[in-house]
């Protein structure tokens, strides 16, 4: 652990040196400051109720920032995830873009020329401090526009009590999953392996399995490759070894959404499923003893996990580039980054905040997720076609494992629709 932290700090130091520490640490060049400015910030609500609404976090950050930056005010609006992407799109369409939006995607706005790039706003220190895998995921045509706001990774979860009662060890390979699921079913477990391929968020479950089979959504040059040989083999295996053998519970994967699968796990009804840090906390609150391992692959644990990130960005419309840079430099301070990650059981997006959490015993439950983040694979966020590709996956992927289905034909359809969307960009 110590060497990993030291290496991370050395990497950050080298990156900063390479960029040149003599550059100004506020926004760089260009737009000038002009009297009092109010930054309009629209952010998503990560809370599960009144007690942990995101308004409280943003109010703390905004008030502390205003106290140390006279002449700059921050006006915050927090919206539910169900509305925010649509509402921000409407604001932009009506010529009333916020200065800052913390939402799920940035590529459309970047390609339309509506966003400042990271290097137009951020100090060198702030820009160099993003975890490299997240900085790369925020790029369009090699330029970073999406600033990672918060991240998460996925591991395979298993119910330790159910495994112990069935005499099982944690799975490391696909064959282990199939054998363990068979044993769990024989011992009366209702859902040996939960496979949520319903429309809620099946693009996530799908990517986890594709990665474990050596595939993914795109090829080495970034083009969609959803019907690759590796991906077809993965879904053939899922269908033949889990679904057709009745090891995924009474609800067919196409009809099972993630929220239902997670709720069943917290009730102690599920032997295994792919999960994230928030599920870990919720399950343990309900008395479930949770085991976690890297995603099993064909011959052993996979080297890469699926990562998820949400984004924050600065819009050009109001010309507040310098003020935006000051706010982002303040917001990405370790205190603020860790505060948000800790409140919502998420992962920090910067090197220094990650290193701090990796050495603090308070965050030991998150260490496995933190360890997976540097090698995580993300959705192709930089593609404006990703929204359409994701919808095709959510609508169709569950059909690939239905009785009598041909996984190859379903993957071919998704790949065809995704490539058509990409070619239309």
Residues 88-139 have pLDDT tens digits of 999 999 999 999 999 989 999 999 999 999 999 999 999 999 999 999 999 9
Q: What is the pLDDT of residue 212?
A: 97
3-state secondary structure of 265: helix
Q: What is the pLDDT of residue 354?
A: 97
In this prediction the pTM is 0.84
- Average pLDDT of every residue of the chain: 91
Q: What is the mean pLDDT of residues 283-304?
A: 95
- CATH 3.40.190.10 residue ranges of the chain are 2-152+307-375, 155-304+385-423
Cβ–Cβ contacts within 10 Å for residue 21, how many?
Answer: 12
- Beta strand 270-275 pairing with 147-153: unpaired
Which CATH fold topology does 2-152+307-375 show? Answer: D-Maltodextrin-Binding Protein; domain 2 (3.40.190)
What is the C-alpha separation between 137 and 145, in angstroms, rounded? 10
At 189-223, the pLDDT tens digits run 999 999 999 988 899 999 999 999 999 999 998 89
Q: Which residues contact 74 (CB under 8 A, 6 or more apart)?
A: 38, 39, 41, 61, 62, 65, 66, 327
- Would you say the C-alpha torsion 249, 251, 254, 255 has a positive or negative sign? negative
Q: What is the mean pLDDT of residues 312-321?
A: 98
Q: How confident is the model at residue 383 (pLDDT cuts 50, 70, 90)?
A: very high
DSSP secondary structure of 311-327: EEEEBSTT--HHHHHHH
3-state secondary structure of 142: coil
Residues 147, 311 contacting (CB under 8 angstroms):
yes
Q: What is the pLDDT of residue 91?
A: 97
CATH number, domain 155-304+385-423: 3.40.190.10
At 49-92, the pLDDT tens digits run 788 899 999 999 999 999 999 999 999 999 998 899 999 999 99
Residue 24 has pLDDT above 70, yes or no: no
Residue 3 has pLDDT above 50, yes or no: no
* Among candidate residues 195, 299, 203, 308, the one with its CA nearest the CA of residue 252: 195
Element (H, E) at 392: helix 386-396
Q: What is the mean pLDDT of residues 368-379?
A: 93
Considering the chain, what percentage of its residues have pLDDT values greater than 70? Answer: 92
């Amino acid at each position: 652990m110590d060497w990993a932290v030291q290496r991370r700090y050395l990497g950050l130091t080298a990156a900063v040196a390479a960029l040149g520490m003599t550059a100004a640490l506020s926004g760089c060049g260009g737009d000038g400051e002009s009297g009092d400015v109010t930054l309009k910030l629209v952010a998503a609500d990560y809370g599960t109720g009144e007690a942990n609404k995101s308004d409280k976090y943003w109010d703390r950050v905004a008030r502390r920032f205003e106290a140390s930056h006279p002449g700059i005010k921050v006006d915050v609006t927090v919206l539910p995830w169900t509305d925010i992407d649509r509402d921000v799109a409407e604001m932009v369409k009506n010529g009333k873009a916020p200065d800052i939006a913390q939402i799920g995607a940035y590529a459309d706005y970047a390609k339309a020329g509506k966003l400042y790039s990271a290097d137009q706003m951020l100090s060198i220190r702030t820009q160099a401090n993003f975890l490299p895998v997240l900085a790369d995921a925020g790029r369009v045509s090699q330029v970073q526009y999406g600033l990672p706001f918060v991240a998460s990774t996925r591991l395979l979860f298993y119910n330790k009590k159910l495994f112990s009662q069935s005499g099982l060890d944690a799975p490391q390979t696909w064959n282990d999953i199939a054998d363990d699921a068979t044993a769990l079913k024989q011992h009366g477990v209702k859902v040996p392996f939960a496979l949520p391929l319903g429309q809620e968020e099946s693009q996530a479950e799908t990517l986890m399995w594709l990665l474990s089979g050596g595939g993914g959504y795109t090829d080495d040059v970034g083009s969609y490759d959803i019907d690759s040989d590796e991906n077809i083999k993965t879904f053939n295996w899922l269908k033949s070894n889990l679904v057709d053998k009745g090891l995924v519970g009474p609800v067919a994967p196409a009809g099972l959404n993630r929220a239902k699968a997670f709720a069943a796990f917290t009730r102690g009804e599920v032997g295994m499923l792919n999960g994230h840090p928030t599920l870990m906390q919720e399950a343990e609150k309900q008395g479930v003893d949770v085991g976690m391992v890297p995603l099993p692959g064909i011959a052993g644990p996979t080297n890469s996990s699926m990562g998820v990130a949400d984004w924050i960005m600065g819009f050009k419309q109001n010309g507040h580039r310098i003020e935006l840079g000051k706010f982002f430099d303040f917001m990405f301070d370790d205190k603020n980054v860790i505060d948000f990650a800790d409140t919502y059981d998420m992962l920090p997006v910067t090197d220094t905040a990650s290193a701090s959490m990796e050495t603090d015993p308070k965050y030991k439950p998150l260490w496995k997720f933190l360890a997976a983040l540097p090698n995580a694979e993300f959705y192709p966020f930089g593609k404006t076609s990703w929204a359409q590709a994701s919808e095709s996956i959510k609508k169709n992927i569950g059909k690939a494992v239905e009785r009598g289905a041909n996984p190859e034909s379903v993957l071919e359809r998704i790949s065809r629709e995704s490539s058509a969307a990409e070619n239309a960009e």
